[in-house]
Amino acid sequence: MEPKKNPKANVGRNSSLYFAIGLALMLFLTNYAINYKTYDKSDIDIGQLNLDELDDEEIPLTQQQITPPPPPPPPAAPEVIEVVEDEEEVEETVIESTEADQETEIVEVEEVVVAEVDEDIEVPFAVIENVPVFPGCEKGSNQAKKDCMSKKIAAFVNKKFNTELASDLGLTGRQRINVIFKIDKTGNITGIRARAPHPGLEKEAARVIGLLPKMQPGKQRGKAVTVPYSLPIIFQVQD
């Protein structure tokens, strides 16, 4: 038996498509209804802005006032100058010309004698050309005279120096005295200076050096000069 309906006229064959379209439409309407808002017109009426009613703002003109500088102080009153009459006559000094002319008499000048200045030159004992000569050391070379002089002075000091003075001063042990003196250009002993642990030893050393005999002065380039000389005095105090 053949069906009476046309298969193309079957409504149920697209039911799933229609259902999806209807569901989407309902979701859209539901979302729109939820988000829909209404406002009161009185709340949203902001009125109309009329720019013609705004007055132009007047900007005041400002001008910097320049303060004039203060007037200068009045000039000081001039001092009253008292004019004193010149009662005394001032004698003017006339300076005569010192220029010579043909009539000027020429005066002969005698020979000017320049006096030699006697300088006190000091030459060290180690470098002097001719050393001072101690009495008894006249023979031999310059070095031999130096050695002889050193031995003679040492023997003289050992003989004259009072070593017992140190015990009297309460000193013990080894004592050293440094003595410096000069043999001037006349051969005399000058400028004695001593340095010791006790002033008493310094005084005794100066006394002994002052007793040295007069010597022949040292010479540098054939001229007598002053020669400094240093001498250490060392001894042991006997307990």
d(CA 231, CA 157): 10
| CATH match of 142-237 with 3.30.2420 | yes
Can you give the pLDDT at residue 207? 93
d(CA 133, CA 152): 11
Can you give the pLDDT at residue 208? 93
Can you give the pLDDT at residue 213? 92
d(CA 212, CA 215): 9
Helices (H) and strands (E) in the chain, counts: 5, 5
Can you give the pLDDT at residue 204? 92
Helix runs in the chain, H state only: 15-35, 41-44, 142-160, 164-168, 199-210
Can you give the pLDDT at residue 215? 92
Ranges of the chain with pLDDT below 70: 1-13, 38-65, 76-104, 106-119, 239
Q: What is the pLDDT of residues 73-101, one digit of tens each?
A: 777 665 655 555 655 565 666 666 666 66
Rounded to an integer, what is the distance from CA 16 to the centroid of its chain? 109
Q: What is the pTM of this model?
A: 0.50
Half-sphere exposure of 90 (CA within 13 A, CB side): 5
Can you give the pLDDT at residue 225? 93
d(CA 122, CA 130): 13
DSSP letters, 109-170, are PPPPPPPPP----B--TTT-SB--B-TT--SS-HHHHHHHHHHHHHHHHHHH--THHHHHTT
d(CA 114, CA 110): 12
Can you give the pLDDT at residue 56? 59
